[in-house]
Amino acid sequence: MTAEKSDEGAPPQAGVPAWVDMDPAPAEPPEEWLARPVAFADDEPPPQLVRTVNLLDPPEHGLSGPEDAAGLAEFILSRAREGIGDVFSHPDYDTASGDREDWARAVAEHQTGIPYTMPAFFYGAQRGVAKAITGNGRYPIVGQCQQSVTTALCIGGWDGGPYGDIGCGTDALPAAARLGDGWTSVPKVLADWPDELWEKVTVGSCLFWSASGAAGAGSGHVAMVIRKHPVERKWQLWDTTTSFNDPAMHPAAVRGARMLWESHWWPFIPPALSGGRWSFRGIARIDGLGEIKSDLKPRGRARLLLRRRGDGELLYRSEWMSMEDEGLPISWLLRSLRGAPFHDRIEPTWCVNSKSDAPTKVAPDNRPLLDVFCDARGNAKMSWSPAQGLHNRPHHAIWAPPAALR
C-alpha cells in the first residue's frame, strides 16, 4: 500500500524505552575470510520461506471475475487456512533435514515477517511476553534482536529465564553460558573450526556482540543458529539484520525492510557490528532445548482489504479477526496471497495489528504492525513503514473503520 501516511506512527508514550533503529551497514567479513579465495556462485539456495513462497504455482480457482469481491475474499481466507505445507515440501527445503529441523521450521513459520520493534509497545513487559509463550504458546509478532531470539528459544522449549529475555549486552553471554556451555574464543571462519567444536555448537546456539566498557551493559546484538549446512561449514541465523545482509533480493520484502526471515548461509562470524562499535564476544548454548512448544498462536488480529488497482476504490473490507483464534501466522497470510486471482486488477491486503490482553496508555490495543499484500505480478509481499517503532500504515480512512464493508 502506498500513498499518504496516517498519524499512527506517533512516538511511544512514557513508560517504555524509545525505539532505536538498527544500523543499516552490512556486516563485514573477518580478515581471515578475505585472505582466501572465495567462490561466489551459490548453486544451492538456502531454505528461506520468504523466497520459496513466490516460487509456488498460482492457485486454480473458479471465480467468475474480479467483480465478485465476496467470493475472492472467501477464496483468500480459505487459502490462508490451508497453512504452508507446500512451502516446506518445495525442493528449496530438500537440504533442510538436519538435527532440530522441526525447530527451524517452527521459527520460520511463526516468526517470518515480524517487524523490528519492541513487544513492550504492544503487549506490555517482556517478562509477561515470554511467560505467555512458555505457558500457552501465545507469541508476539514483533521483536528486536534479543526479543526475537528469546521468542525463538521459547518456541524451542526455553522457559525465558528470570527476565523473559536472553539479553544482548556484555552480561548476556556469560548468563546464557551458565545454562549450558559457552565459547569466547573461536575461529571467525567456520571452515577453520575443529570437528569437535562444530558438533557442540548446535541449532539453538546464540552468538553475542556488544560494546566495550560501561556502554556494553545494554548495547549489543544477539543472533541464533537455526540450521547448519548438511555438508559445508555454514549456518543459517535467526537475526534481525538479515534484511540488510541477505545477498539475494526477494520479491516478498525489500532489502533493508527491518523484518525477519531465515538468513542466507553464513560461512563466517563478523568480528564486529554496528560500524565496529560492537565486538564479537562468543557463543552460548542452553542445555535441554529442542522440544517444540505445541499449539503456537500469534498474538495479533488481521483484516482483509480488496481495492481496485485502477482507481484505488475499496471493494471489500472484512471484520477484524483474531489471528490467535483462527490460527493464522503471518506466513500463512503471506502464502494466501501468492498468485491471488485477478491480481493484475485487484490489490488484496492483509492489515495486521496487535492484540493486547490488557491495553494501557503505554501499550494500547489494535496498533498497526505490518501489511501483507499481493502485487500486480502475483508476488506475495510484506511491508512495514517504521515510525518510532510503530507501523505508519497509509490509507487510514480505508482500513481503520471498525465496520466491515461487503
Q: Among the listed ranges 61-75, 88-102, 118-132, 374-388, which one has the minimum average pLDDT value?
A: 88-102
Instruction: Check residue 45 and give its pLDDT.
Output: 85
> Tens of pLDDT along 250-302?
999 999 999 999 999 999 999 999 999 999 999 999 999 999 998 999 999 99
Q: Report how far apart, in Å, the C-alpha atoms of 228 and of each of 97, 115, 148, 374 are.
A: 10, 25, 19, 32
Phi-psi region of 18 (alpha: psi -120 to 50; beta: other; left: phi over 0): beta
Encode pLDDT of 174-214 as tens digits. 999 999 999 999 999 999 999 999 999 999 999 999 999 87
Q: State the pLDDT at residue 238.
A: 98
Higher pLDDT pick, 16 / 141 = 141
CB 132 within 8 A of CB 139: yes
Sign of CA dihedral 299, 301, 307, 311: negative
The average confidence (pLDDT) of the chain is: 92
pLDDT for 9 beyond 50 = no
pLDDT digits (tens, 9 = 90+) for 332-377: 999 999 999 999 999 999 999 999 999 988 889 999 999 999 999 9
* 8 pLDDT tier (thresholds 50, 70, 90): very low
Q: Band of the pLDDT at 16, cuts 50, 70, 90? A: confident
At residue 15 the predicted structure's pLDDT band, cuts being 50, 70 and 90, is: low
pTM above 0.85, yes or no: yes
92-95 CB contacts, 8 Å cutoff, 24+ apart: 92/45, 92/47, 92/48, 92/51, 92/52, 92/55, 93/47, 93/52, 95/44, 95/47, 95/229, 95/230
Distance of CA 82 to the CA centre of its chain: 20
